[in-house]
């Protein structure tokens, strides 16, 4: 049965809204919940506000944790005013303390403008007043690494001072979610003072393929995703070869896996496919990762697919190649670079590249580490 575009969109939306019940997600939510319980309402002696770092690579699931908490704790309208137990803010790119304050004001009260003449003390006073009146228990700042990206020492100290002053007489707790280098700040006086207000950071990392328990949990997530695709035939994501290829293509990051499978589901439903197979995922991967602009855009003499070199060209009356044939040819041409198609040593090379990138990510974040995870190997020995 052919589905309408609206029906396809609804199926994809249902898949994307499914909350993956995996351990790292639950631990992240618990870490925020523990911090949130430090909040005290107006009139009750507050505990000191603390900040929690949630760190992870793109696709690790940081934003999903915060967005789920936001959706589970919507604003409530009461006779005494609006109540916002959870406030979600996305830090603007290359943000300054003043830009961050503007984003906080907009999240608290859309349309509430940061006045040009306000100094830092006035800005902080207004934020505290609004958070107190709206009973904001936790302020969650996503993309918080923008606070430290491309900053010199003076800019970093200004950002640290703003956050420290925001925390000082504040009942609202703060979550900062960002890339791993957010936790690897230089040792300056103000940054050390700010770091003392942090709780132990929470690192969102993929399950380790090389570890038996980690692989079991990873396969459980793949099984969850396959069930929620709700396609007529099994895709068999948990079979060893398929599972290894998904891990290689995504680094094991849950958010990236979900994104690729969402696109694959959309394509499968639109094309009437009964399951998601390796070739379909290879197409998705090629479009997301491998697709490059052609080096020659207008080569009039270039032969068409299947046309012998030197044969007379028929650009206007000879017909056009089948787009599916062209796509298949392009896919096969890049097979050695595509984890869903590569074979033998080509796949091993892609796996080593993925594992090497993982170790590189870990080596950049040492400030809060005690144990370093070994690189994953799909082959049961060092890759």
- Percent of the residues in the chain that have a pLDDT greater than 70, as a whole number: 83
pLDDT band of residue 356 (cuts 50, 70, 90) is confident
3-state secondary structure of 369: coil
pLDDT digits (tens, 9 = 90+) for 161-199: 888 888 887 889 999 999 998 888 777 777 788 888 899
Residue (of 205, 202, 172) closest to 29 by Cα position? 202
pLDDT, residue 319, reads: 54
DSSP 209-235: TTSHHHHHHHHHHHHHHHHHH--SS--
pLDDT digits (tens, 9 = 90+) for 66-88: 999 999 999 999 998 899 999 99
pLDDT, residue 360, reads: 54
Average pLDDT for residues 234-239, to the nearest whole number? 96
pLDDT digits (tens, 9 = 90+) for 120-166: 889 999 999 999 999 999 999 999 998 888 667 788 888 888 888 88
**pLDDT higher than threshold 90 for residue 89:** yes
3-state secondary structure of 90: strand
3-state secondary structure of 96: coil
Could you tell me if 152 and 46 are in contact, meaning their C-beta atoms sit under 8 angstroms apart? no
Q: E strand or H helix at 76, and its extent?
A: strand 76-78
């Amino acid at each position: 049965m052919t589905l309408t575009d609206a029906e396809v969109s609804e199926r994809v939306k249902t898949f994307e809204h499914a909350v993956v019940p995996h351990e790292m997600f639950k631990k992240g939510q618990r870490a925020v919940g523990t911090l949130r319980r430090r909040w005290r309402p107006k009139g009750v002696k507050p505990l000191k506000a603390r900040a929690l770092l949630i760190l992870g690579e793109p696709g690790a699931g940081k934003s999903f944790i915060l967005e789920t908490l936001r959706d589970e704790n919507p604003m409530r309208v009461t006779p005494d005013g609006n109540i916002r137990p959870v406030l979600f803010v996305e830090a603007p790119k290359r943000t300054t303390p003043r830009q961050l304050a503007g984003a906080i004001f907009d999240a608290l009260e859309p349309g509430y403008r940061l006045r040009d003449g306000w100094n830092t003390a006035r800005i902080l006073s207004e934020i505290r007043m609004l958070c107190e009146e709206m009973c904001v228990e936790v302020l969650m700042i996503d993309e918080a690494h923008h606070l430290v990206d491309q900053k010199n020492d003076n800019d970093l100290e200004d950002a640290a001072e703003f956050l420290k002053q925001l925390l000082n007489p504040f009942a609202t707790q703060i979550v900062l979610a960002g890339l791993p280098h957010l936790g690897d700040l230089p040792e300056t006086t103000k940054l050390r003072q700010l770091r003392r207000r942090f709780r132990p950071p929470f690192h969102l990392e993929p399950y380790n393929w090389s570890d038996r328990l980690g692989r079991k949990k990873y396969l459980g997530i793949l099984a969850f995703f396959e069930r929620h695709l709700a396609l007529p035939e099994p895709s068999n994501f948990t079979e060893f070869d398929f599972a290894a290829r998904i891990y290689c293509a995504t680094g094991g990051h849950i958010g990236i896996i979900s994104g690729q499978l969402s696109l694959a589901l959309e394509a499968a439903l639109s094309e009437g496919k009964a399951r998601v197979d390796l070739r379909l995922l290879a197409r998705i991967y090629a479009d997301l990762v491998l697709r490059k602009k052609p080096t020659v855009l207008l080569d009039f003499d270039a032969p068409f697919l299947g046309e012998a070199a030197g044969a007379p060209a028929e650009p206007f009356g000879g017909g056009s190649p089948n787009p599916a044939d062209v796509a298949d040819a392009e896919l096969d041409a890049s097979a050695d670079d595509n984890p869903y198609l590569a074979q033998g040593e080509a796949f091993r090379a892609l796996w080593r590249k993925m594992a090497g990138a993982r170790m590189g990510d870990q080596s950049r974040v040492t400030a809060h580490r005690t144990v370093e995870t070994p690189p994953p190997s799909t082959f049961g020995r060092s890759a």
